[in-house]
Amino acid sequence: MKNFDLKLSNLDELFPSNFTQEQMAKAKTVFLKRLALNAHKFYNGKMQTVPKAPVPGFNWFNVWYTPGVSAVSTSIRAQNDASYELSNRGNLVAVLSDSTRVLGDGDCTPPGGLGVMEGKAFLMKYLGGVDAIALCVDSKDESGQNSPEKIIEFGKMAQHSFGAINLEDIAQPNCYKVLDDLTEMCDIPVWHDDAQGTACVTLAGLINALKLVDKKIDDVKIVYYGAGASNTSIARICNAAGADPQKSIMFDSKGALSINREDIKNDPRFYRKWELCQTTNPDCIENIEEAMQNADVLIALSRPGPDEVKKKWIASMAEKPIVFVCSNPIPEIYPYAAKEAGAYIVATGRGDFPNQVNNSLGFPGILKGALLVRARKITDNMAIAAAESLAKFAEDRGINPENITATMDEAGVFPHEAADVAMQAQKDGVARIKMSWQEAYDKADADIKHARKLIHALTDQEFISKPPQEIIEEAVKFTIDELSK
């Protein structure tokens, strides 16, 4: 049997060298999905609960539990904020979902979201030094419809066990109401990663891309293709960061957003989209081909491709066009095709292409920063501060058209981002405690290093087994067989 690289550092080497670029891209997608199934079955998921306190002797159970722990309960009763010091609450996030919009797979039923929510918890721990728990809930009401009120009530009731709530994979329009209502009702940060997280990392990439093409954010024409929770939030955050909404046009599945869209106006559930209808596309352009003429930036989060975005659209854009095609698992157009059409910078949501716009760069550091100062909310200013932090970190180490953002393997980006977010939380008046930038950085850095050291130690000592070669071999064989059909 071939000795496969367990790090999977170069997926191209797994497949025949005569594969075309399109075949190779498809092969990687099929392989990663098959390997995910194999690996999750082998490990029975990827998260477990491990104590962080020792057991020097059995009398310590009287300390960790009754009768000693009574003093902890009464202390917290007297002052609820003591829960941040006397329990793990201050470093614990609820990953809350009803699994109605899981990645690009739609409604997967409540337990169907566990793979993604556990994955979110895994990344929070390894990248941000944050503990997290997957909470997949049934949001259906008596009529069988998914009800935002049920998620809101659950989050409101559960908030006292957590330092923050990360909303995930909740279909629109429910996601807007869930985020906005829980943000107002809860005394802890509520973060919607599909929306705010994607907006943050996209803005970070856009900041550096604009530097490379020597354009200003308030001058550029932006076309948004797709109007789900992610892209509507991207537009909102980009506008807050200086983009001119009058120079922007957004498209959904029914056409361009504008004040002429009575269907959106008359559906109060889509109030976020109606806000964009009123502020963008003042000329009421309806055709995507016309909108793309001389556009500086295309930001697409719509349907998986590879031919959702047309080469002729890109060819009609302004000089040195910037193209974000971030649908997963397959971008709206493959990067090589976008480059052939004239794109100067291309970003996707995938790590096997240059310029991955990945939420994993954002939420570990953002949530860590919010937790460090015990923030009550995550403001738009905090999201923008995180984006600017990511962009600055990448710029300081050097950027180019094939490398506009930091990557997950640059461990220093996360404490840097956490510290910048913590400072902005204090400026915005939503922090319970104060600390300096260096104090926030040092704490985040120590927690992240501890988390990584723990995971590696458990692996080295074989409490976590390494993935067997067989599951990689089977995934490679399955992929080649699938592509040969």
146 CB contacts (<8 Å, ≥6 apart)? 98, 100, 107, 139, 140, 171, 174
Cα separation, 467 vs 458, whole angstroms = 14
Q: Catalytic site residue 126?
A: no
Answer whether 96's CB lies under 8 Å from 137's CB. yes
Residue for token pair 């910037």: 322
Q: What is the DSSP string of 83-140?
A: HHHHSGGGGEEEEEE--SS-TTS----GGGGHHHHHHHHHHHHHHH--EEEEEE---B
Which of 345, 363, 403, 367 is CA-nearest to residue 195?
A: 363
Residue 350: both structure tokens together? 């995938």
- Largest CA-CA distance found in the chain, in angstroms, rounded: 75
Of the residues 65, 216, 312, 427, which is catalytic?
65
User: Of these residues, 26, 28, 120, 247, which one is catalytic?
Assistant: 120
Hey, what are 392's tokens? Answer: 């600055």
Name the CA radius of gyration of the chain, rounded: 23
Residue with structure tokens 């989060």?
Answer: 301
- CA nearest neighbour of 300 among 409, 222, 375, 402: 222
In this structure, what token pair is assigned to residue 472? 């990689």
The secondary structure of the chain in percent helix, strand, coil, rounded to multiples of 5, reads 50, 10, 40
Question: Tokens 């070669």 belong to which residue?
Answer: 469
Cβ atoms of residues 291 and 188 within 8 Å: no
HSE of 297 in the Cβ direction (CA atoms, 13 Å)?
A: 33
Phi/psi at 289 (5° precision): -65, -40
Q: Is 65 a catalytic residue?
A: yes
245, 246, 398, 419 from 280: Cα distances, Å = 5, 5, 34, 34
Catalytic annotation, residues: 65, 120
